[in-house]
Amino acid sequence: MTRPATIHEIGDKSDTEYRILFLGDIVGRAARNAIQDQLPQIKSDFGIDAAIVNCENAAGGFGVTPEICDRLFEAGCDVLTTGNHVFDKGEISPYLERQNRLIRPVNMGAEFPGAGHVTITLDSGMRLAVINVMCNLFMAENANAFMVMKQLMQTIMLGRDADVIVVDVHGEATSEKNAMGHFLDGQASLVVGTHTHIPTADHRILAAGTAYQTDAGMCGNYDSVIGMDKLAATSRFTGERKGSLSVASGEPSLCGLVVDINRQSGLAHAIYPFRTGGALSQTI
């Protein structure tokens, strides 16, 4: 397979900036193995200060296990986010209670284990806050995402409480994720959507300085239907066959974005799409 030409190069990082890598939903074993194998080199090559990855489909396309999380942390993931599939594997519940760097949507009910946000201090001294919120349109019923975020952002402020704030907005509707980006503009360093597994082409810096993309895409094989075997998925749409879906085999793409953030303001200076490997056009 002939690779498309390189689209751009990620610029040099200034000493006055932090560089954040965000990778979209991991779908299946091949994708998580690719992250484990490649993330240390990616962080080194591009001067990544922190890597945040959505892992909610890492275990066979549905949920995640403690063992998978541990391996992803060992590979260099600093925080793992999730979404509506976070509790598909029962053994993840006690793990969420003891591992604060794995978070679930903050607007889920208090009866669910774990937390929806975390602030960690990295070796560089950077205070990194990561928030996971789930949209309401076409999703399971949860507290209003906008009202929950309005209250939460009063307690986690750039400069005062964190040097960098990243918000993973897990949702189906592009309009709702777009609205959340503008709602949080100037309050977060990065607002990025997950869940649909298809990368959008609207990466940009919003008016008040927040980096934004409607969906980061997935880490998985794009010769598929959002990561699942394309024949099995298509036959369900035609009504010819029903049954369980399985993760598509083949080379995965690692898909997400890189953001440079001013150390003083906590707001974005540059945003780059990140796609490497597999069927998608390469951006590095």
pLDDT digits (tens, 9 = 90+) for 114-143: 999 999 999 989 999 999 999 999 999 999
Spatial separation of the C-alpha atoms in residues 110 and 194, rounded to whole Å: 23
In the predicted structure, residue 189 carries a pLDDT above the cut 90: yes
Task: Give 1's pLDDT tier (boundaries 50, 70, 90).
Answer: very low
Identify the pLDDT of residue 5.
38
Mean of pLDDT over the chain: 94
Asked if 261 and 17 count as a contact pair (C-beta separation under 8 A), the reply is yes
Per-residue model confidence (pLDDT) at position 278: 93
Q: What would the two tokens of residue 276 be? A: 């490497």
| DSSP label of 121 | E
207: pLDDT confidence band, cut at 50, 70 and 90? very high
Give tens-digit pLDDT for 61-93. 999 999 999 999 999 999 999 999 999 999 999
Question: Which band of pLDDT confidence, cut at 50, 70 and 90, is reported for residue 13?
Answer: confident
Beta bridge partners of 253: 220
* Residue 59: how many other CB atoms lie within 10 Å: 23
Between the CA of residue 57 and those of 48, 60, 84, 128, 153, what are the distances in Å?
Answer: 24, 7, 10, 24, 28
- Assign 4 a pLDDT band (cuts: 50, 70, 90): very low
Q: Smallest Cα–Cα separation from 191: which of 154, 229, 136, 153?
A: 153
Q: How confident is the model at residue 7 (pLDDT cuts 50, 70, 90)?
A: very low
Residue 241: pLDDT above 80?
A: no
**Mean per-residue pLDDT for 169-185?**
98
Catalytic residues: 85
Strands 50-54 and 79-81: parallel
User: How does residue 2 score in pLDDT terms, banded at 50, 70 and 90?
Assistant: very low
Whether pLDDT at 174 is above 90: yes
Residue type at position 243: G
Query: Which secondary-structure segment (H or E) carries 119?
Result: strand 117-121
Q: Which of 60, 106, 49, 59 is nearest to 81 (CA)?
A: 106
What span, in angstroms and rounded, lies between the C-alpha atoms of 11 and 19?
Answer: 11
- Nearest one of 44, 206, 49, 202 to 126, comparing CA atoms: 49
How many other CB atoms are found less than 10 A from the CB of residue 40?
A: 15
Which of 39-48, 174-183, 229-238, 248-257 is least confident?
A: 229-238
pTM of the model: 0.95
Domains of the chain in sequence order:
17-276 (3.60.21.10)
* Residue 8: predicted pLDDT: 59
pLDDT at 148 over 50: yes
42: closest CA among 259, 254, 240, 268? 254
To which residue do tokens 């006690």 refer? Answer: 94
- Burial class of residue 254 (count of CB atoms within 10 Å of its CB; 0-12, 13-18, 19+): buried
